[in-house]
Each structure stands twice: as C-alpha cells, then as structure tokens.
Amino acid sequence: MTALLIPAPSYTSGYRALARTALETALSTVPAYSNWRRHDPGPSADIFERYQAMPVLSKADLREQQPAGFVPAGRDLASALASGEVELVETSGSTSDAVTNVWCQDWWDASEASSWKLHAATASARLGDHREAILASPRCVGFASEVGYLSMEQRTLWHYLFLTEKANPAEWSIPFCDRMIDELGRFEPAVLEANPSFLSVLCRHAIKHNRQVLQPAVVILTYENPSLIHLRHIRRVFRCPVISSYGATESGYVFMQCKAGRLHQNVEHCHVDFQPLAPRHGGPMVGRILATTFHNPWRALIRFDMGDLVRLAAEPCPCGRREGLTLDGIEGRMANATLSPAGRLVTQSQADAAIAQVDGLDQYELVQPDATTVSVRYVSDTREPAAIEPELCASLQQCYGSSMNIISDHVQALSPVLGVKYRLARADFPIDIHDFLAGSP
C-alpha cells in the first residue's frame, strides 16, 4: 500500500514524444549507449517502462566516454569546436572528479528560459537580454584574481556583472563587501543569481553595517542547496522573490521553485526518473533522481545520476501546475549524507533543519568521522559558545539519536572547499546509495 502514496506525475502526449525521441536517438546514434540497446524492451512498450529498463549513467561513465562519446553520430565535434559553436567546459568536481562537458550555449540558454516559466515572478519579468549580477565563486563562473582586484568593467561580460573575483568569502574585507553592494546599485540588475552561501555572507555584512541593498526583480539561488540559515540572512535583506533553481552543467535547468515554494520539473527540456529510498531511510517520498536531457544537439544524456536526493510533494501544488514531478524540496547531495548510529540515512536537509533550530548561527560545517560521532564547526557573531553548544548538541541528538556523540567547535570563519562551494555536511567514510534504495538487501 505504501507505494500507492507516491503521487503519479502527469505527462502530455507531446512530452511523451520528446522522451521517446531522446531515448531512441541516444540508443541508435550515440556511441556511449551502444551497449544499452540490449536492455530496451522495444517500441511496443510504454516509453517510461523503457526508461526504467535502462542502466544509470554516472559521472564515471561521462569521464570514461568524454568528450565525444555522447555526441550523436553525424556531428563533427572538431569543426564545431573550431567554429565556436560549442566549447569544452570542465565542472568543478567539488564532491567528485571533474567532468569535461561539450557546452552548447544556445541549448543552455533555452533550458534556462523555459525554467523561468515555472515561477510567476520570472515569467512576468520579461527576462532575456536583462542585466544580471552573479555572486558565486570565480573558480566556477566569472573572472578570478587572487592577487589584485579587478575593475567593474573587467568583471562585466555582455549583460552579466560578476560581483567577486575572490573565491573565499572568509577573506572578504568590509570595503570589498561595500564595493559589491555599491556595484549592485550602479548596475541595477533585473536578476541577482547567487550561490546562497556566498550571498549569505554579503547579507550578514549588510545587516551588521546597516547597508541598504538594491532590490532586483528576483533573486535566483543556484550552485548549491541553500541552508535554512542562508535563507534567514538573505530574506532579511531582499524583499523581492527569492527563488531556488536546480540543475547542473551536464543537465541544464531541471527544477524551478514556484510561488508556493514547490519545485517543478522543467518538462520542456528534461525527463526525470525517481528512485525511492527504502522506508527506514525516508522512502518512498525521498529518493534519488536521474535526468534525461532534451534538445541538446551535441550531448545526449539518458538517466544521468544527478547525485542528489529529493523529497516528492505529497499533495497537488497550489500554483496549479500538474505536469511532471513536483518536489517539496531538495534533500541535498548523496555525497553530503551522513548516518545515525543505527545506520539510518540522514540527509543534508535533515541535519540542516536540526542545526538551524539553534539561534545565532551564521555558518557551520558538519563532519562525521565514524558511525557514532559528528563534529560541527560553527561561526557565530552574536552568541557565546556556552549558550550555543548545549542547544546544538540537543538538537543534533534529536536528529541522529541520543547515542550520537556531538563535538562542537566555535571558529572565526569557514572557507569553501577548493575555493568553489561550501560543503555543509559529509561523512569521512563511503556511503553507497545502492544500500539505501527501495529493494536493497
């Protein structure tokens, strides 16, 4: 009976046709899938049964076949690279080895534009050639300079302004944060796209120093899953809609938050398979997602493991959108999951909700060295450790179990991993997703 509680997504005949084209094109023309054809039950089977019969595509598969293995037959990659139609882009590899992607800007832009339809604020803002400010690690996007500083003109490309050339927010000075706030006012972007942990640091500065910040039409959070602590800081500064967008360099834009706070599948540009976890680990409503891309002429991805866990919405969304998967939220990367002493999977979102109950925390990093211990390094400018740490211990023991040993350490600042992204939680031992999926032994 439990399986019946999983809400069945609705799909149009047009969507089914896109899904069929994506799968059949990959199986018939893309070298990387030559060994997958034997798994296909054939065109007489339902298209989603055919998807479920396929293997899962991993980042290791992408590295093994990169970059030409996923280019459909008949396309000349060398000529396209020479002409600038596509380029090779390497992901940051903050939680696993980097992957080289064949980057098609036109496809990426179309995927982004279709995601804007999923929130009323972005749908009505007439986005396109709008001014956009971006706050993220320059090692991920933009222009980096760890020695000197770059002018505003040097950090502007087309209609984009990259606010920081410095990859470590722990080293941002008061004048540097003031510069970013001033440049937002001068540039007047319609959209501020931001890594939530980076934007949280800037918002804390604005709150502490009573700085007024320009209000764009929308703030779009991307690059990493926002903590409830990040959102607390950001929403104190920005009164405009703050929207979470979910995707990846490989997959394009996969989900977008609507006005009601749910995340909706970008059905015009991807298919998403959902694989539930076993009930003791949060299933059937929590599980992993596998993305299939539509419309990319230079790279065909089928059932690509995004590396993330999500929570399905149990009820129809108040916004009225019904097609595709609807999520209550992103639970976080599988690489950021931890375990209770009893072996129950604890998602990043669950650990974050426990930590966010403690007032006065600005940043944190949770590390699990072994099955019975978690260690939390945290930043707080407003409360003493003697007040914070008993509350932190109690909240985390409610999350993990009373037998979990909690170690806490107050620090002055935290830095992103490899200067790219913050990693809010992790275990220092391997955790294999296959041990937690429904049907696992």
- CA nearest to 118, candidates 299, 324, 401, 273: 324
- CA–CA separation, 388 vs 130, rounded Å? 44
* In the block, residue with structure tokens 């914070």: 388
pLDDT tens for 61-88 read: 999 987 899 999 999 999 999 999 999 9
Sequence-separated (6 or more) residues with CB below 8 Å from residue 25: 72, 300
* In the block, residue with structure tokens 């694989």: 275
Amino acid at 319: C
Q: Name which of 126-135, 230-239, 371-380 the model is least confident about.
A: 126-135
- CA–CA separation, 254 vs 53, rounded Å? 22
pLDDT tens for 404-428 read: 999 999 999 999 998 899 999 999 9
- Contact (Cβ atoms closer than 8 angstroms) between residue 364 and residue 355: yes
Neighbours of 387 (CB within 10 A): 14
DSSP 405: E
Pairing verdict, β 132-135 and 100-103: unpaired
- CA–CA separation, 388 vs 150, rounded Å? 39
- Contact (Cβ atoms closer than 8 angstroms) between residue 201 and residue 166: no
For the chain, domains (ranges, CATH) are 2-331 (3.40.50.12780), 338-435 (3.30.300.30)
- Contact (Cβ atoms closer than 8 angstroms) between residue 97 and residue 66: no
Does the structure show a pLDDT above 70 at 326? yes
Sequence-separated (6 or more) residues with CB below 8 Å from residue 135: 163, 164, 180, 192, 193, 194, 195, 198, 199, 202
* In the block, residue with structure tokens 């008993």: 390
Band of the pLDDT at 92, cuts 50, 70, 90?
Answer: low
DSSP 41: -
Q: Name which of 95-104, 167-176, 354-363 the model is least confident about.
A: 95-104
pLDDT tens for 117-154 read: 999 999 998 898 899 999 999 999 999 998 999 999 99
Band of the pLDDT at 3, cuts 50, 70, 90?
Answer: very low
Chain mean pLDDT for the chain: 95
